[in-house]
Amino acid sequence: MNIEEYLNIVGNLSLAVMDDPTALLALTVAWLDPLSVIEDLDDLVETDLTDFYHSGDDMGAALRVSRDCFPGIYAEAISQIRDGVEYQQTSEFISSEITNLTGIPIDEYEEPAAYAYGIPMPYYGAEWDESDFIESNPLLTKLALLLGATCEQVYLSEVIDFSKQSYEIAQIVYASLWEHYDNPVHRSILWAIGHATSQTGNSSVDYTYLEGSEWQPLSWTSDEVDYASVIIREAEQIMSESYDGLLHIENSPHIRQTLIDNIEEAKRIVDRLEKEGQKLNDYINEQNKNPFGLRWDDLHAGVVGDTATDPECIQLRMDVA
């Protein structure tokens, strides 16, 4: 066979493929999703992500997760591989794109560890039994002490302890602020108290990494990725606004005094309920979060300076948490 005959055969095969819808579809699928045509696809899909971790297969884990949950990122990754981009660079691209899209902190873990044991979640919970946390969070510590928590010496370290009474005081004050949720100043103080006492309802804000690591992690599926992203984005907003609230309390005498007045009123309420043998939860509920009528003046009058938190301060605060 000479070269002319060979080229004619190749040309005829190309035309035959283009005229055959099934063959054309197969070629398209193989081009867009090459993993779909490998012989051991079933084995790949059924492979536990921890196996990629133990074998050091960064690209395998990244491609598997992106193919299952992020088809757009997967398509771009395949395009990069076809263009000759190094595997490590493509793997890092997948991780950074997933983080940008969802907030999931993959780049904080060594690949493929971020994929191996479920979706990694951030945790900002107040670690009141850790002296390093207390020293690194002076404004949050001041708020805890305002709410009635005590600073105690445990061995050579200081810890913050919320008694049942101090927690109930915080619960009353926190719940009363929900009436003013639409007001950004009130909401920032709400989240500051919620973060200090772990009652925001957001697991990333309320729990520490140690506590979160005891739970069954969310798996790498589309639905659970969406759920994780909602939690993370909400947590980022709460932490940002919480820090704004701490700054308001620290810098505004009017806001701080209003808070102190309501804390003292909440303490009187807790003392009265205890004497009467009544339970706080019999009063506070979803329908009536401020049954005792705590009053909040127009806190905007006490705002000092710019209310927008410096993004670098937010990131510093969240890194410390």
Q: What is the pLDDT of residues 34-73, one digit of tens each?
A: 666 554 555 555 556 666 655 656 677 888 889 889 989 9
Q: What's the pLDDT tens digit per position in 71-96?
A: 899 989 988 988 888 988 998 999 99
Return the pLDDT at 19: 73
Q: 266-301 burial, b if ≥16 CB within 10 A, otherwise e?
A: bbebbeebeeeeeebeebbeeeebbbbebebeebee
Return the pLDDT at 32: 66
Q: pTM of the full predicted structure?
A: 0.81
